Amino acid sequence: MRIDFNDLKPQHRQLREEIRAATEQVLDDGWFILGKQGEAFEREFADYCGVRHCVGVGSGTEAIHLALLACGVQPGDEVITASLTAVPTASAISFAGATPVFADIDPRTFTMDPADLESRITPRTKAILPVHIYGQVAEMDPILEVGRRHGIPVVEDACQAHGAEHGGRRAGSLGVMAAFSFYPTKNLGACGDGGAVTTDDPVLADRLNLLRNYGQRKRYYHESKGFNSRLDEVQAAILRVKLRYLNGWNETRRAKARLYDSLLKGVTPPHEAGYARHAYHLYVVRSSRRDELQHYLAEQGIGTLIHYPVPVHLQEAYRDLGLSRGCLPVTERCADEILSLPLYPELLDEQITEVAEAINRLTSEG
């Protein structure tokens, strides 16, 4: 039996009637941008994350970009982030006119190493952007402490971490702002692009509201230079339906991750940090035989992906930074060894067993 890396169809089959009704409501209302669905979703998602404000935007990339602008990042500034991330983390920094600076990561959690972060701070550092990669929150206490000590705001890249927790608090409520993506494959995914910024700070929320809507507060009166980056009403209505299922889906992801943990041999399973409650957006194992393993699984009809084969600092697009292999040894070693296995709420336990058995077959061959 073929096992796809991901399949969004079963989720939408299950929610078909609810999504259809929500979408039809928007058509009946005849209002598509910045309306009551978006406002309701913003309230509900802010409550979910445990903050006072949520501002819906066009994508996760835009959420990071606008959050950085809202906290005053300007051309020539530096923003410290991780290199083992989706390239858009860095693109958003570039679009704010700033330079991404990469801190190395912890080899067990794949998230920013707080000690290395501190060594990268310069007078030009204007924001710290830890990435809650694969659904596990970065080690925020020491990261926030570094930020406090140097007077630098910490913005969470929570694009992969809807519902993930850190010391009992949800991702999105830990930094001064947090950026979320609702790209369809995320734990909370729209049926198109979408994103949001969460924050407790009303001044930042106000700035974000202006930035996403051409800098206008009152129609045709522009207070500042802004962008067009809004979460549309159809996506907001769909996200409101799906938000009600998010906790259940995350619990299922966790149970399926535990099943993988109990079955896998010969590869290093993901590590859940003591402070964290992992949301398992991705289930990422490590193996020194990664490429051979991926090839073998493909032969068995099992889809896997590598998130991400080339860390940002070694991407062609960032050659201008002048960083080469050896700059971030832990990041580079992880990028060579990571493999994402199929994991989504509707994946059957039998399919997980089949994936694990295939892996165990190869790794026991030595």
Ligand X SMILES: Cc1ncc(COP(=O)(O)O)c(C=O)c1O
Task: Kindly state the smallest distance separating residue 3's Cβ from ligand X, in Å.
Answer: 23
Nearer to ligand X, 59 or 213 (CB): 59
What's the token pair of residue 362? 């190869």
Alpha helix ranges (H) inside the chain: 9-29, 36-49, 60-70, 87-95, 114-119, 140-150, 202-212, 233-263, 290-299, 329-337, 349-364
Nearer to ligand X, 60 or 226 (CB): 60
Nearer to ligand X, 89 or 250 (CB): 89
Cα 129 to Cα 109: distance, rounded to the nearest angstrom? 16
Nearer to ligand X, 199 or 358 (CB): 199
Task: Kindly state the smallest distance separating residue 184's Cβ from ligand X, in Å.
Answer: 10
Task: Kindly state the smallest distance separating residue 312's Cβ from ligand X, in Å.
Answer: 11
Task: Kindly state the smallest distance separating residue 364's Cβ from ligand X, in Å.
Answer: 33
Q: Which amino acid is located at 332 in the chain?
A: E
The residues binding ligand X (CB under 6 A) are 59-61, 85-86, 88-89, 131, 157, 159-160, 181, 183, 193, 195
92: left (phi over 0), alpha (psi -120 to 50) or beta: alpha
Nearer to ligand X, 171 or 205 (CB): 171
Measure Cα distances from 219 to 210, 213, 214, 216, 223 in Å: 11, 10, 10, 6, 11
**Could you write out the DSSP letters of every residue in 25-74?**
HHHHHT--BSSHHHHHHHHHHHHHHT-SEEEEES-HHHHHHHHHHHTT--
Nearer to ligand X, 67 or 362 (CB): 67
Question: Can you tell me whether residue 277 is helix, strand or coil?
Answer: strand
Produce one character per residue of 211-243: b if its CB has 16 or more CB atoms within 10 Å, e if not. Answer: bbbbeeeeeeeeeeebbebbbbbbbbbbbbbbb
Cα 308 to Cα 338: distance, rounded to the nearest angstrom? 8
Task: Kindly state the smallest distance separating residue 366's Cβ from ligand X, in Å.
Answer: 35
* Residue showing tokens 């966790």: 254
Task: Kindly state the smallest distance separating residue 63's Cβ from ligand X, in Å.
Answer: 7
Produce one character per residue of 9-29: b if its CB has 16 or more CB atoms within 10 Å, e if not. Answer: eebeeebeebbeebbeebeee
Nearer to ligand X, 53 or 186 (CB): 186
Task: Kindly state the smallest distance separating residue 88's Cβ from ligand X, in Å.
Answer: 4
Q: Which residue is nearest to ligand X (CB)?
A: 60
Residues facing residue 113 across a β-bridge:
none
Task: Kindly state the smallest distance separating residue 355's Cβ from ligand X, in Å.
Answer: 23
Nearer to ligand X, 78 or 193 (CB): 193
